[in-house]
Amino acid sequence: MASNASLLRAVLFDRDGTLVVDVPYNGDPRKVRPFPGARKVLDELRSRGLATGVVSNQSGIARGILTPGEVDSVNARVEELLGPFDVWEVCPHGDHDGCVCRKPAPGMIRSACSRLGIDASEAAFIGDIGSDMEAARAAGARGVLVPTPLTRDEEVAAAGEVAADLEQAVALLLRGPV
């Protein structure tokens, strides 16, 4: 019988605050700063044949603070620094637009999994806030929270799995479910 760890086929990541330092409403690729170890964990996942993806709310587009082109430029810089991702999902909507994609809704995770040809139960999502974990849960994916100083205590308490950093989060995933 295969272990549950072998069911993991993709690891999806929140962008801001998880893969790169959060610069609110960043439209400048020069301000992209990956978290320490991000490239290493991504390379490890890729070397194991796991798909990688980014799932990111970008309400600055709806608010008129960012253009889609600026978001694309920042995303291109993220790929330049961290390597290619198999899938990108970006929600351009605001908090009250009622879309099905904006986290904590599961739409982007489900879409990413569909585009990868997998079921959400074969994916994990790593993020830094409660809405990331809610989206993973709603989609049927495994969620791992990597808190930052901005993560609220109640978000940490509600998370099923918590890791100190990206490296620990990926180690948890590669070990299999708790």
Active site residue 128: no
CA distances from 76 to 24, 48, 84 (A): 17, 24, 9
Q: Is the pLDDT of residue 144 over 60?
A: yes
Confidence of residue 164 (pLDDT cuts 50, 70, 90): very high
Strand ranges inside 4-154, DSSP E: 10-13, 51-57, 87-91, 123-127, 142-145
Confidence of residue 169 (pLDDT cuts 50, 70, 90): very high
Decide: helix, strand or coil at residue 144: strand
Decide: helix, strand or coil at residue 124: strand
Q: What is the pLDDT of residue 1?
A: 32
Select which of 16, 22, 28, 165 is catalytic: 16
Select which of 14, 22, 86, 128 is catalytic: 14
Active site residue 153: no
Strand ranges inside 2-139, DSSP E: 10-13, 51-57, 87-91, 123-127
Strand ranges inside the chain, DSSP E: 10-13, 51-57, 87-91, 123-127, 142-145
Q: What is the pLDDT of residue 75?
A: 98
The string of pLDDT tens digits covering residues 42-92 is 999 999 999 999 999 999 999 999 999 999 999 999 999 999 999 999 999
Tell me the Ramachandran region of residue 90: left when phi exceeds 0, alpha when psi lies from -120 to 50, beta otherwise: beta
Beta partners for residue 144, in sequence order: 126
